[in-house]
Structure 1
Amino acid sequence: MSDANKRKSLSGFQYRKMSKAKKEKEENIVRKTTKLDTYFKIKGIATRDLKYLLEQCDTPTLQVDEKTEEILSYKINDDMNVDDIKDQIYVKTVPISMDFDKKESSQKCKIKNIETNNVDTLETVKCNVKDTNVQYYCWFSNDPAKWVLNESEFEYYSKNQVTTNLVDIQFNKTFRRIGKYNRKLPREAFFRKLLNGEFKHRNWLLYSQSQNSLFCFYYLLFAQRKTKFSRPGSGYIDWKNCLLDVNNHEKFIKHTESVRKWHSRQLDNQYCIQNFLKIEISKEEEYWTKLLHQLIETISFLLTKGLAFRGDNETVGSKFNGNYLSCLELLSKFDPIHANHIDKYSNKGRGNVSYLSNRICDEFIDLMSKTVLQCIVKEIKIAKYFSIIVDSTPDVTKVDQLTVAVRYICKDGLPVERFIGFLPSVGHKAKKMKLELMKIFKNLDIDMINCRGQLFDNANNMSGIYNGLQARIKQKSNTAEFVPCLAHFLNLVGTFAAELTSMGNKFFLRAQNLYTFLFASTSRNTLSKELDQIPNAQLLKNLCPTRWSSRYSVCKSIKNGYVGILAALEIIYNDSNQQNAVKHEAKSIYNKIKSLNFVFILVVWTPLLEKFDKTSKSLQLINIDLSCVVSLYDSLICYIQEQRNNFEIFLSEAIKISGINKFSWEETRTKRKNIFFDEELSGEVIFSNSDKMKNEAYTKLCDKFGFFSDMENIEASELRNKALKLMEYYVNDLEVEFVEEIVQFKKYIIHFPNETKNMQGMLKYLNNNPSLNTTFPNVEIALKLFICMPCSNASGERSFFVLKRVKNYLRSSLSNEKTSALSILCIENEIVKNISLTSLVERNKQLEEVISQIPKLTNYFSSSRQLANISNNETTNENVDILTSKKKNETMYENEV
């Protein structure tokens, strides 16, 4: 390129100079251009001087300075005066609160809480005065003598007919001096008597209380020449000839024509283009609302099932677009409206409103999760007392997730446990965990002072009495009792008891080896599945160390399928096609389980672990309380003690199953351990710690509230002492009257049904009987305090199961907020089902944007085309006549007014 054709670069100063000149030129053009709002008139009631309204207050509460006076000044129309305005508005006492937000040049002012007197119709008008946003109330009077009939009033009264209520007329006070006599307004003037004796009410005849005169409603609006029934400010006052004149006026052709004009305008309003626009707007709103309902139901379905939403792409019609779009495609096959929406709006790209994008889906997920949390918080505030359940586990990305659940009492008196959310990367320090817990409860507006229980695992950072999390929670609420997880302790006791002896260890080791051997090969697996043909037989179960009921499942499956297992092993080690190592292993396992030793341990452990399993499942129930826990523990201990004397029964059953009469004891010397002077026997330490835990954690709590479960058998003096101790401990919750209430409640509990004599039954019975609830309020509080204490961490463990489904290896990139939101909606699916879809749609911000786009030119032209189609082709003969008369009436109205 030659130097002559090169673009010459200007200096920075020259560019700034050109930019400044361009900006000044644009500002000059804008300054000279006429404002758009000057071409329009403000509709509504006549404009008022706002300062005048304030001066009419009997007790004004606002001081207007010079600046405020300048802001509140509002120009009155040239064709009006203040007296005309004053007659149209009544202000009795106006306590006005003004809110000013001064931000540079913008100021806002609002008038609130205006009380009025003797006014029938209210219209709210928002006016923009300079930089001030003023909102006040405008009134249309029902007194015809005060009508100004400007443009706004004429428009209002031509759409809304005004009638006179005869009850409001005091006819004894309507006297007028006419000639020599005082005459009053006859009531008969408001009725027309027909020839057959019937009476018709003249709804067009209006009475003015201010002028004590009569007016014709239609004549006031449409009469070209003012007559005695339409004279402004005075009206008709000749009571002597009232009946005759009213009757003649009603038959006057001008009156009939005015009636026709008024009804003609009603018909015009019905078929005007504004009404068609409103119809179109309502149809669009209904369309989008129905669509959003379908989307919310689809999202709710996927959430409650814990399924993924998105796929590899977001293309409608693709095989890899995910569950969300696939469900919408399925719905479109049975809903033509939904199918039309997908065909019209799908795959349009960004910038097009379709409500099919992942952004809208995420907004609804966030909105629904917040709504569920609001419902939970509302229930907690009603219940007041609650307990917290905290546990932690790593997710698929190795991030430690701290789960938080809350236990409280519902309105029906039953305890519930609700999931609050996950707190990621909190760490294992008690101080940091406490800060995060305080933060989440503060954000939810839940007062931790009302916390009455806390349940964690037995780690030192959680259960430590000095620096653990439970000690730090007690600093906030000193009555937040710590309760260890009962199900975890029962699992520890059962696991330790199973592994306490060498025979027990060998038994479960051989059971696990048996499962591994049979399921390691497909051929052996097929052979083991033939066990289903044996009555009551089950597939072999894997021994999972973290699953509480796995040991019972292993024992039960081996016991029921013992004969088939031996047959399968015998087939394997006699099969010549098998490798020698496989045959040798099968023979070894066969010899180990084909012994009285193995079968005897199997027979002993199966019923014991069955009781452990049933007790563990009962402890995991939400509606269990500590009194039931103590009963379950006592019954389990009694059952185990009874089994000590059933050796002969177990032995005979083992001999029957195995077919062997003698034990094959191994010829090995028993290993002994030297015990020093400061040591105890192994095995006793564990049981003593377990007893210590039981005594310190549960027995003390049950001693505080235990008198509720045995109230009928306790003397009144002892009952008073126990109630007094409980009241002294919960000094901020129970009143002094609690002691006498509990004594009186003891006499009343005799009449309770037997199924309601436990603590939960008592609380439910009190809630269902309001009279008892008010008689024993402190008893109800004490029952709530006890029942709201958690017993196990099963709710936290269930949340971990949901976490593994929500955040799996395919969804490992989920954010912490979305993970918590999806988990809340999946766990608390009962609350999700009760959420109002309409409230969700109204709260969605995107819906407001869609509705705001509806009244634009596109819909305007579509409505215009609809009106044209009605007038040209698609109307019946009746509609054509209506539209024709509409045009005639319009022409007549223009000529008359």
Structure 2
Amino acid sequence: MLFKFFTPIPRFSESNNSTIGNESTIEASPILSTTEGPSEEPSSTPSSSDPPSSNKVFKKGEYLELDPGKRTPILDYHPNDQDEVRRAYLVNGPTRPNMTDYPPRKIGKRNRSFNNSWYKDNDWLEYSIEKEAVFCLPCYLCYNGRSNSAFVIEGFRCWNLKNKLNTHVGELNSNHRNCVKACANLMKKNQSIESSFVKHSTKAEADYLVRVKASLEAVKFLVRGGIAFRAHNEGENSIYKGHFLEFIEALGTNNEKIADAFKSGGGNCKMTSPIIQKELANACAVETVKKIVEEIGDGFFSGLVDESGDCSGKEQMAVVVRFIDDRGFIVERFIGIVHVEDTSAKALKDALETLLSGFGLCISKIRGQGYDGASNMKGQFGGLKTLIQKENPQAYYVHCFAHQLQLALVSMARKHEDVDWFFLEVSRIVNFLRSSNKRQSLLRKKQVAHFANLIEDELVETGTGLNQELSIARAGDTWWGSHFRTLSRLIDLFTPIIEVLEDLKSDRYSKGEPKSLLFVMQTFGFVFMLHLMVEVLSLTNDLSQALQKGDQDIVTAMQLVQVSKKRIQQMRDNGWDAFYEKVVDSCGNLEIDVPDMESRYVKGNKSKRLAPLLTNLNYFKNDCFLHVIDFIMKELGDRFTPENVELLNCVACLNPYSSFQDFDIKSLVRLARFYPNDFENVSDKELSSQLETYIECVKMDDNFSKLKGISDLCRTLVRTKKHKTFGFVYTLLKLALSLPVATASVERVFSGMKYVKNELRNRMANSWLNDCLVAFVEKEVFITVDDLDIIKRFQAMSKRRMHLRLD
């Protein structure tokens, strides 16, 4: 008798397609792999019974590339290998494809669509995209020659004959029902033939469970903290055997039951080997992402993607999904990191598709894309966003707002001659001070003395957290807020820096550079540009911080941009006098000469004969103050112009601010037409009628009177349970909130990656890095995962010495 089964295998890249009858090969999805290649420490060689890994290649007849939910019989098994069938079925489980994701012309003949509602009454149905037919999974697994061949061999295609399904099920003792019972028994490990031959005492099984739980506790503790598992020497005579083994010993010291269990476990049954550690970590990661996918459900989501190199020189692509949960809150979750050898748009798209399909997510459910400004991401002809929009036109792209803001500031610095000179001098100052530990130590001493004098003269406030030790960090073009932080520190430490440079003038090794920097810093032009840039960047820094919040919606983001533009315009119109007085007061405190504003402006040491015919006032006010502000206003206007103005204007009509003053039914109906799949069978009249009822209802409800944005509106609809009454409005709100604002969540993942994979752990394999990073970044979800679910997945990964009774 032969056993056959269906299993959902993640979709792989086109270059790795494999079909029955050819010799091509594919690789398994990294997130589902359980054994590793090179790790940060040496490990033993895996046995032949180890589960599939990202390094293993499956050959002809073993696995077949499938889309999510598309099923095809792919492998014959002998009864002696029934555990392999059971294990694959337990790990992957039956999933029901959403037939609306596939065009009706691809499903059946004569354009007859397979009714997705049939799955609700007949959970044994499995759809095969290869044969465009459905099969009976229990009869296919336990085929005995008596089952209806239409549901086992040829496949059922008579979509209009639903009564045939009931006929196949039959009475209580029908062959189908017997096959269902046989499959249920097949899934019970304790009834397998192998379990019958290998019997263990109750105490041995109890000790085994104790060891598994103790090892799991150690793994959970280490992955949550991003801590290394192994040590260079884990022998019996080692002083410190590594965090994992030391944690196990610490548990045994305080719990005799755990200590006795590990003493009784011999050989490979101690559950402490590197392979066991990695399998447990993989089970933790998969169950964590499974929780996230359950949060998404059948809803849509947006994808945030960015790439960065790790400490070992590998290019890594991190993927974050943004969606609306059941409470109406905006949620951004990290689901995985993938090593990409090629950073072309095609390679990134294939890696993204493989990762998403591995968890049952498909590109057709994406409603928004959020990337940085790299050409391989946002390119109009061959970028990642273009490739995805070819498959799913509803996946609208939004350039990361925080990146746009930073790029606007960098562009302004490069175009304006005086600003460019100023930042070059600031870079010289920072590099000179940070290039020597001696100079940094001297700066700290001068800083302490300076603040002591200010406190003694009562020029600064004192209290908890005030007047802390400061340091100057280098600014970077892609480091959000770094320019503002560096310049603010430069103002606070201006006097200590001057004193440090004065002391270093006598240093025979660097006396020339301190003298040059002193000359630059003690000029009115440098102080003027320092205060000007701090004033301008302070107005945009609040915007930058707000854009990096994970729960920020695109309507509020656009409003923040407009507010920042308005504040900068007010500074241009009415801020000169107050700004000039501040600069003059600062120069007076620093004993820097202020030039006569009515005299002729001379730049540096140039001859007056060659100097332009303008006064100092004209130069510093018009060529510097007003010109810089005009530059930044132009850049903000150019970079924050939406790619699709009509879409964002329609989204703005949902804003509840000022008693829904922006509400417009025609615009919201137009917004629904941007998403035809989500409003496929909804007429304009039906949608307009619900919108009219909705606006009258919420205006009369006090719960909606003081809302500040569409995110508050969405949460209030759910809290008042009006989202069930106004389903179309709630869908529009979720679509609007799903549009990404910034890739700050992805940047935080890369910050965590530097903590997990550091210089001492630079040999981590790709899947091992992913497993550790998922649990480390998504601690909030990871702590809600049930230990029983993790142990079940761990037990199903490969053959174990004992079968735990976990049901």
**Same-fold call, TM cutoff 0.5:** yes
Question: Which of residues 97, 105, 113 is equivalent to 2:175?
Answer: 97
Contact 1:289–1:841 (Cα < 8 Å) also in 2 = no
Question: Which of residues 822, 832, 856 is equivalent to 2:782?
Answer: 832
Partners in 2 of 1:532 and 1:742 — Cα distance?
63
Offset of 1:354 from its aligned partner? 0.8
Offset of 1:612 from its aligned partner? 2.3
Unaligned segments of structure 2, at least 5 residues = 1-138, 147-169, 194-198, 452-459, 461-466, 596-601, 614-626
Question: Which of residues 374, 389, 406 is equivalent to 1:491?
Answer: 406
Write the deviation string for residues 133-168 of structure 1: whole angstroms up to 9, x where unpaired. xxxxxxxxxxxxxxxxxxxxxxxxxxxxxxxxxxxx
Alignment map for 1:538-557 (pairs within 5 Å): 538-545=469-476, 546-557=478-489
- Say yes or no: does 1:375 pair with 2:291: yes
Question: Which of residues 748, 759, 771 is equivalent to 1:809?
Answer: 759
Deviates more, 1:372-381 or 1:513-522: 513-522
Offset of 1:800 from its aligned partner? 1.7
Paired position in structure 1 for 2:696:
747
Paired position in structure 2 for 1:309:
229
Offset of 1:758 from its aligned partner? 1.9
Partners in 2 of 1:648 and 1:66 — Cα distance?
93
Contact 1:333–1:339 (Cα < 8 Å) also in 2 = yes
Paired position in structure 2 for 1:526:
441
Contact 2:539–2:568 (Cα < 8 Å) also in 1 = no
Contact 2:302–2:321 (Cα < 8 Å) also in 1 = yes
Aligned-pair Cα RMSD in Å: 3.7
Q: Which has the higher contact order (CA 8 A, sep 6+)?
A: 2
Partners in 1 of 2:734 and 2:485 — Cα distance?
37
- Say yes or no: does 1:359 pair with 2:359: no
Paired position in structure 1 for 2:318:
403
Write the deviation string for residues 454-486 of structure 1: whole angstroms up to 9, x where unpaired. 112222332123332212211222111111111
Question: Which residue type is aligned with residue 591 of structure 1?
Answer: F
Question: Which of residues 561, 569, 580 is equivalent to 1:641?
Answer: 569
Question: Which of residues 672, 687, 711 is equivalent to 1:760?
Answer: 711
Contact 2:370–2:399 (Cα < 8 Å) also in 1 = yes
Query: What SS class does the counterpart of residue 269 from structure 2 fall into?
Result: coil
- Say yes or no: does 1:619 pair with 2:547: yes
- Over 3 Å counting, the alpha-carbon distance change for 1:410 and 1:520 in structure 2 is same
Write the deviation string for residues 478-522 of structure 1: whole angstroms up to 9, x where unpaired. 111111111101001122233443332333333332233333334
Partners in 2 of 1:651 and 1:515 — Cα distance?
26
Alignment map for 1:593-612 (pairs within 5 Å): 593-612=521-540
Query: What SS class does the counterpart of residue 774 from structure 1 fall into?
Result: coil
- Over 3 Å counting, the alpha-carbon distance change for 1:353 and 1:488 in structure 2 is same
Alignment map for 1:47-446 (pairs within 5 Å): 94-97=172-175, 281-316=201-236, 318-341=238-261, 351-382=267-298, 384-425=299-340, 427-446=342-361
Query: What SS class does the counterpart of residue 695 from structure 1 fall into?
Result: coil
Question: Which of residues 584, 596, 621 is equivalent to 2:512?
Answer: 584
Alignment map for 1:28-39 (pairs within 5 Å): none
Paired position in structure 2 for 1:505:
420
Question: Which residue type is aligned with residue 544 of structure 1?
Answer: A
Alignment map for 1:20-31 (pairs within 5 Å): none
- Say yes or no: does 1:560 pair with 2:560: no
Offset of 1:753 from its aligned partner? 4.0
Question: Which residue type is aligned with residue 405 of structure 1?
Answer: V
Alignment map for 1:872-887 (pairs within 5 Å): none
Query: What SS class does the counterpart of residue 564 from structure 2 fall into?
Result: helix
Partners in 2 of 1:777 and 1:379 — Cα distance?
19
Query: What SS class does the counterpart of residue 312 from structure 1 fall into?
Result: coil
- Over 3 Å counting, the alpha-carbon distance change for 1:571 and 1:281 in structure 2 is same
Partners in 2 of 1:562 and 1:461 — Cα distance?
42
Question: Which of residues 481, 494, 502 is equivalent to 1:570?
Answer: 502
Write the deviation string for residues 550-574 of structure 1: whole angstroms up to 9, x where unpaired. 211111112112222222333333x
Partners in 2 of 1:841 and 1:414 — Cα distance?
31
Question: Which of residues 731, 736, 740 is equivalent to 1:786?
Answer: 736
Partners in 1 of 2:145 and 2:420 — Cα distance?
91
Partners in 2 of 1:489 and 1:638 — Cα distance?
18
- Over 3 Å counting, the alpha-carbon distance change for 1:427 and 1:338 in structure 2 is same
- Say yes or no: does 1:777 pair with 2:715: no
Offset of 1:589 from its aligned partner? 1.9
Deviates more, 1:627-636 or 1:594-603: 594-603
Larger Rg, first or second structure (1 or 2): 1
- Over 3 Å counting, the alpha-carbon distance change for 1:330 and 1:595 in structure 2 is farther
Contact 1:749–1:757 (Cα < 8 Å) also in 2 = no
Write the deviation string for residues 549-601 of structure 1: whole angstroms up to 9, x where unpaired. 2211111112112222222333333xxxx533433332332222122222222
Contact 2:210–2:258 (Cα < 8 Å) also in 1 = no
Contact 1:555–1:606 (Cα < 8 Å) also in 2 = yes
Write the deviation string for residues 721-759 of structure 1: whole angstroms up to 9, x where unpaired. 212212322233232322222222222222234443521
Offset of 1:445 from its aligned partner? 1.4
- Over 3 Å counting, the alpha-carbon distance change for 1:316 and 1:335 in structure 2 is farther
Question: Which of residues 705, 709, 712 is equivalent to 2:651?
Answer: 705
Question: Which residue type is aligned with residue 231 of structure 2?
Answer: G
Deviates more, 1:593-602 or 1:320-329: 320-329
- Over 3 Å counting, the alpha-carbon distance change for 1:66 and 1:692 in structure 2 is closer
| TM-score under structure 1 length normalisation | 0.59
Paired position in structure 1 for 2:581:
652
Question: Which residue type is aligned with residue 702 of structure 1?
Answer: L
Query: What SS class does the counterpart of residue 580 from structure 1 fall into?
Result: coil
**Identity across matched positions, percent:** 23
Query: What SS class does the counterpart of residue 814 from structure 1 fall into?
Result: coil
Question: Which residue type is aligned with residue 758 of structure 1?
Answer: G
